[in-house]
A and B are shown apart, each in its own frame.
Chain A
Amino acid sequence: MSELLRCENLTKNYGSTTALDEINLSVENGKIIGLLGPNGSGKTTLIKLLNGLLTPTSGEIFVNGKKPGVETKSVVAYLPDNSFLYNWMTVEQIVDMFCDFYADFRPDLAYKMLLQLGIDPTRKLKKLSKGNKEKVCLILVMSRNALLYVLDEPIAAVDPATRDYVISTIINNYNHDASVIISTHLIADIESILDEAIFINKGKIMLHKTVDEIRDENGCSVDQLFREVFRW
Chain B
Amino acid sequence: MVGKLFKHEIKYYIRSLMFVEIILFAVALMTRIIQFLENDSIIYDIVFGSSVIMLVITTLAAIFLIVVMGVVRFYKNLFSHEGYLTFTLPVSPMQHLFVKLSTYMLFVIVTVFSILVALSIATFGDVLVELVKAGAYLFEYVGDRIGHLSLIMYAVEFILLLLVSVAQQMIIYYFCMSVGQLTGKNRIWLSLGVYFIIYIATQVFETILIVIYSILDSANALDGIIDYIGNHIEGCAHFGLWFMIVFYALVSGVYFLVSHRIISRKLNLE
Contacts and interface: CB of A to CB of B under 8 A. Distances in A.
Do A's and B's CB atoms come within 8 Å in the complex? yes
A51 B87 CA distance: 9
Given A82-B84, A85-B85, A97 B92 contact: no
B19 to A, nearest CB: 13
Interface in A35-70: 48, 51-55, 69-70
Contacts of B1: 101
Interface string B257-270: 00000001101010
Interface string B121-148: 0000000000000000000000000000
Nearest to A87: B82
Nearest to B89: A101
A55 B268 CA distance: 11
Interface residues of B, number: 21
A72 to B, nearest CB: 8
B88 A78 contact: yes
Interface string B62-92: 0000000000000001000110110111111
B234 to A, nearest CB: 49
B88 A53 contact: yes
B7 interface: yes
Nearest to B265: A55
B238 interface: no
B4 interface: yes
Given A53-B269, A100-B7, A71 B90 contact: yes
A83 B269 contact: no
A180 interface: no
A100 B85 contact: no
Nearest to A75: B90
A139 B87 CA distance: 19
Contacts of A76: 88
A80 interface: yes
A199 B107 CA distance: 51
Interface in B1-48: 1, 4, 7-8, 12, 15
Contacts of B269: 48, 53
Report which residue of A53, A71, A76, A85 has the largest number of chain B beta carbons within 10 angstroms of its beta carbon. A53
Counting from the closest, the 7 A-B pairs by CB-CB distance are: A74-B90, A84-B84, A84-B85, A73-B90, A100-B4, A80-B84, A101-B89
15 contacts: A51-B87, A52-B87, A53-B267, A70-B90, A70-B92, A71-B90, A80-B84, A83-B81, A85-B82, A85-B85, A86-B82, A88-B15, A100-B8, A101-B89, A102-B90
